[in-house]
Amino acid sequence: MLEFVEHFLFTLVVAILASVYFRKGRDELIRVLLTGLKALPGVQELIDIVLHKAVASFVKTTSLADDTQVEKMQPRVVLSKEGISHEELRRQMILMKKKETNHEEGKIFAYVYTLDDDHFQLQKDAFDLFNEKIGYSVDHDTLVREFHHAFLHENALNPMIYPSLRKMETEIISMTAAMLNGSREAVGFLTSGGTESNMMAVKTYRDRARKLWPHIKKPNIVTPITIHPTIDKAAHYFGLEVIHIPIGPDFRADVKALEKTINSNTIMIAASAPQFCHGVVDPIGQISDIALRRGLPFHIDACFGGFMLPWVEKLGYPVPPFDFRCLGVTSVSADIHKYGYGTKGSSVILYRNSEFRKFQIYTYAQWPGGLYGSPSMAGTRPGGNIAASWVSMKALGEDGYMRKAKELMEATTKLKSGIKNIQGLCILGEPHMTAFAIGSCDPDINMQAVADVMEQRGWKMERNMNPDSIHFSILPHHVGVVEELLEVLKSSAQEVKENKSLAKKGTAAMYGMMATIPDKAIINDFIAEFFSEIYKSK
């Protein structure tokens, strides 16, 4: 019986594809017939099976057919215990490049528009100038730039044109999923950065809700106030409401408030690992339980910590569960261009399985230019960034990431210990990795003014509000300046304490004024005007 139904549905699918050659009335008849069938229990599942078989059969006829991953399941790609030698990686790069179609032969009619002359060399020089130090070591950074340049022409928009990019992307996804405790079913895509990764998660769950819960007309996201604004940005773009819940005195999401806030229009929950403001991981395990009970997808923004927390945990520091080990977690974003030590911009968006990921993919079948599909917000997907990310992860391996995490956590611990000895300053909450926020426990010390003084002394500061504090992300270039940073911070705090008028000047005064304005729309207008002004052509 099943074979008969599959045969019938397959025939129907073929008829639909062929209907473009017939009259519109025939198309409408088939559309109505298919719509009616899909409403029957179990039919959609059978259609999915038939489509999967048809796609698998089609792929074997394409240029991807020589890829062994297409023919049979291969061992899962994970980070090697030790980094692969640079010489071996260069050898692999040469082999991959040999398999590519060379656009210089004039056999590719899209995707590559770059000039192969001094103009292109100038662009490579500009890239090198602004990426002199990616963040690990001179040799590592040189290798990453080599791979970036080698694949700088390539575009991953069409996975069949440059199969090496497809191979690298699938291996990056596999290595990252294993690092974040995803099963073999975990899948994902590369994006241009954390903003796009988080936006894709929101878009995915919006489209999923449209299919599963069509009665929801005003979908919302429930998330802590400390979630990165990219979630709010995505909701703004995709027509969703964000309902923020408060954080507790530990700067973590208030779980009880979160559960009370979820309503019949909620289509997803989001939390952070860690949230950027204070470097604190939300109570992911508890929220995961809520997500499971409520049947809601749960996204973790680990763009900042995804490539650091796993190694911090292995080093023995206390890190609460934050990844796919929490069964309610359905997606995780993690930036390779942060603590993965790849080039800007490269990020990963992972899903627990393909049933979630398929809602991320955009498709359009009516374009005269051919069948169109895109896995992410961007159409063009720079091959250089994919190659740079792949080689960064391969070259470092677990031992490389562990060494760097150990070095940065030691610097972080030393900094936090020193800050606790500075009178009037304190660390907010219990940070879980290489980031923390410094607050004031002295009413005479205004932290925005402290940041102003430090900027006058040449330090570019990151500021928090509610409460006022200074954010520190500890990066490779901070390891050698720990003592200097502590001295400058101490003297800056002392200067502010002795001169209270500093709180009424500069950026500190602006932040103070903004805090007194109850209408946040005015502040939003101010920010928009600020960006309009500084990007004017002079």
- Domains annotated for the chain, with CATH where assigned, are 2-59 (no CATH), 86-398 (3.40.640.10), 404-534 (3.90.1150.10)
Tokens 């398999």 identify what position?
A: 99
Q: What DSSP character marks residue 476?
A: G
| 0.85 surpassed by pTM | no
What is the spatial distance between Cα 88 and Cα 143, in angstroms, rounded to a whole number? Answer: 11
Digits of tens for pLDDT over the chain (538 positions)?
455 555 555 555 555 555 544 455 555 555 655 565 566 666 666 666 666 666 666 666 655 555 545 445 566 899 999 999 998 988 888 888 776 655 555 444 444 545 555 655 555 666 665 565 556 666 787 888 777 766 666 666 666 667 788 888 999 999 999 999 999 999 999 999 999 999 999 999 999 999 999 999 999 999 999 999 999 999 999 999 999 999 999 999 999 999 999 999 999 999 999 999 999 999 999 999 999 999 999 999 999 999 999 999 999 999 999 999 999 999 999 999 999 998 888 999 999 999 999 999 888 878 888 777 788 888 777 788 888 899 899 999 999 999 999 999 999 999 999 999 999 999 999 999 999 999 999 999 999 999 999 999 999 999 998 899 999 999 998 999 999 999 999 999 999 999 988 878 777 766 665 666 666 677 677 667 776 776 676 6
What is the spatial distance between Cα 291 and Cα 142, in angstroms, rounded to a whole number? Answer: 44
pLDDT of the residue at 507 = 75
pLDDT of the residue at 51 = 62
pLDDT of the residue at 14 = 57
Alpha helices, H only, 347-473? 354-357, 383-420, 447-456
Are the C-beta atoms of residues 448 and 512 closer than 8 Å to each other?
Answer: yes
pLDDT of the residue at 52 = 64
Are the C-beta atoms of residues 109 and 155 closer than 8 Å to each other?
Answer: no
pLDDT of the residue at 439 = 96
Contacts for 43 with CB less than 8 Å, ≥ 6 apart: 9, 37
What is the spatial distance between Cα 17 and Cα 440, in angstroms, rounded to a whole number? Answer: 67
Burial-class residue 57 by CB neighbours within 10 Å (0-12, 13-18, 19+).
Answer: exposed
pLDDT of the residue at 74 = 60
What is the spatial distance between Cα 486 and Cα 415, in angstroms, rounded to a whole number? Answer: 7
pLDDT of the residue at 372 = 77
CA distances from 398 to 80, 155, 212, 295, 404 (A): 6, 29, 40, 35, 10
Q: How do residues 79-100 score in pLDDT, each as one tens digit?
A: 999 999 998 988 888 888 776 6
